[in-house]
Amino acid sequence: MKRWQASEFGAPDTVLEKAEVPLPEPGPDEARVRVLAASVALPDLMMVQGRYPLVPSAPVSPGQEIVGIVDKPGPGYPFAVGTRIMGNSRADIAIGGLAEYTLSPALGAMPAPAELTDAQAAGFPGSYYVAHIGLAHRATLRKGETLLVLGGSGRTGSAAIQLGKALGATVIATARNEAKAGFCRLQGADHVIDLSEHDLAETVLELSGGHGADVIYDTVGGETYEQATQAVSRGGRVLLVGFASGQWGQPDPQHVVFNDYSVSGALALFRSDTERDLTREALSAFLRDGSITPPVTETYAFDDVPAAIASRSGSAVGQAVVTVTGGTVPHL
């Protein structure tokens, strides 16, 4: 079987190679999966470059999220041979999803909804499940509240915009140029703040009539996090989701206490069984009624993996997908 991998860190077009490797054998609570499509996101680029903390050393095999067909379940894996599942690969041990076959742990795996194409399903858990767990369960976003999405043009940010609207919130998103701002508007954002032209905190306060953001969904971190928390409402909730800036948001305990807001993480892997079931039911209903539609903005062939990963730089918007075997891809 073929798998994209790199023996050292560096630029994707320099270090990645398509290698012939043995079929991986599943251990307990995981399965070998024939990959149909794999999501390509900023963490994959950071992984190859050596900037991703969960993969501290080479070799590296990117492609964290996949949709595929269960080929060989290991002991304790809950889904039968032939099931189309979406979930994670074992990119953490250099058995990534940009391959003809990969290993996928039971934790986080689930049958792919019939409403989703392979391309849409490839990154669905890491965007929409994360967003729903964060917004509905961690932050308890309520109808009529104001949601601020930092990095609204990314795949996780755009999912939060769509879900925020589906949950009845007024959504403010941030972007750094007009193309990204336009993409945020297409996802349903009520207001978009171009950070290259406007002050973040000042504009949020102005748009919210001085109230501030009830919930902040932070996929960016760094300085943007600091600016956003200057405009959080009393009783507000801040969700740490990602670090596209290269640094997680750094909560200041004194600022949190004196301004009366809370900060929590949002990762779908840590959901309870009840949260898992409620999120699955809610997302299925939103898919059926058209409240959410995962946007696949770029698709790449399996031979074009280095270009796909390199594309996840600062100019990227939405979801990029590599198609591996078979499957359907929407024409956007």
Q: What are phi and psi of 287, to 5 degrees?
A: -65, -45
Q: For the structural domain made of 137-270, what CATH number should be given?
A: 3.40.50.720
Q: What are the residue ranges spanned by the domains of the chain?
A: 2-123+294-323, 137-270
Residues 311, 11 contacting (CB under 8 angstroms): no
The pTM score is 0.91
Per-residue pLDDT at 332 = 32
Per-residue pLDDT at 325 = 81
Per-residue pLDDT at 288 = 94
Per-residue pLDDT at 268 = 66
Report how far residue 79's alpha carbon sits from residue 183's, in angstroms, rounded to the nearest whole number. Answer: 36
- 220: CB partners within 8 A, 6+ apart: 150, 151, 174, 242, 243, 244, 245, 249
Report how far residue 15's alpha carbon sits from residue 49's, in angstroms, rounded to the nearest whole number. Answer: 9
Domain 2-123+294-323 has CATH 3.90.180.10: yes
* Four-residue CA torsion sign, 97, 106, 158, 249: negative
Instruction: Write out the H or E segment, with its range, that includes residue 319.
Output: strand 319-323
Q: What is the pLDDT of residues 25-72, one digit of tens each?
A: 999 999 999 999 999 998 999 999 999 988 999 999 999 999 999 999
| Cα dist from 73 to 28, 34, 203, 205, whole Å | 9, 11, 52, 52
| Cα dist from 58 to 49, 80, 125, 231, whole Å | 10, 33, 26, 41
Eight-class DSSP state of 127: I
Ranges of residues in the chain whose predicted pLDDT is under 50: 327-332
Residue where the block lists tokens 């996840």: 312
Of 80, 42, 216, 218, the C-alpha closest to 139 is 216
State whether residue 15 is helix, strand or coil: helix
